[in-house]
Amino acid sequence: GPCKSCKACVELELQPELPEIEVTEDLCSGCGVCVAVCGYDAPKLEKSDKGLAAVIDDLKCKRCGLCVSACPAGAITTTDGLVEATANIYAAL
């Protein structure tokens, strides 16, 4: 993934802190796209009431937002504008 966990986005005040990534299990289809795009092995598919659902390992997650952008169901979200902040960071480079 593009994020190297350098926290430059926090230092440059593009974001106040690294965000939390959340999975809405009811929306997750268990397709595995998040698993495929993550370079840090943070998302895993685990059994749920509906079959399979993504679960994010907070210790491995670098908050880069790739899984948020890639999720076709919109089941992986963050409430702090991570996707927009990431776009701003790349625009500033």
The pLDDT of residue 68 is above 50: yes
Domains of the chain as residue ranges with CATH: 8-92 (3.30.70.20)
Q: Which pLDDT score is estimated for 47?
A: 95
pLDDT digit string, tens, across residues 4-33 = 667 676 677 666 667 789 999 999 999 999
Phi-psi group of 81: left, alpha or beta (phi > 0 → left; psi -120 to 50 → alpha; rest → beta):
left
User: In the 3-class helix/strand/coil scheme, how is the chain assigned residue by residue?
Assistant: CCCCCCCHHHHCCCCCCCCCCEECCCCCCCCCHHHHHCCCCCEEEEEECCEEEEEECCCCCCCCCHHHHHCCCCCEECCCCHHHHHHHHHHHC
Output 47 or 62, whichever has higher pLDDT: 47
pLDDT digit string, tens, across residues 79-92 = 666 666 666 776 77
Q: Which pLDDT score is estimated for 76?
A: 95
Q: Which pLDDT score is estimated for 83?
A: 64
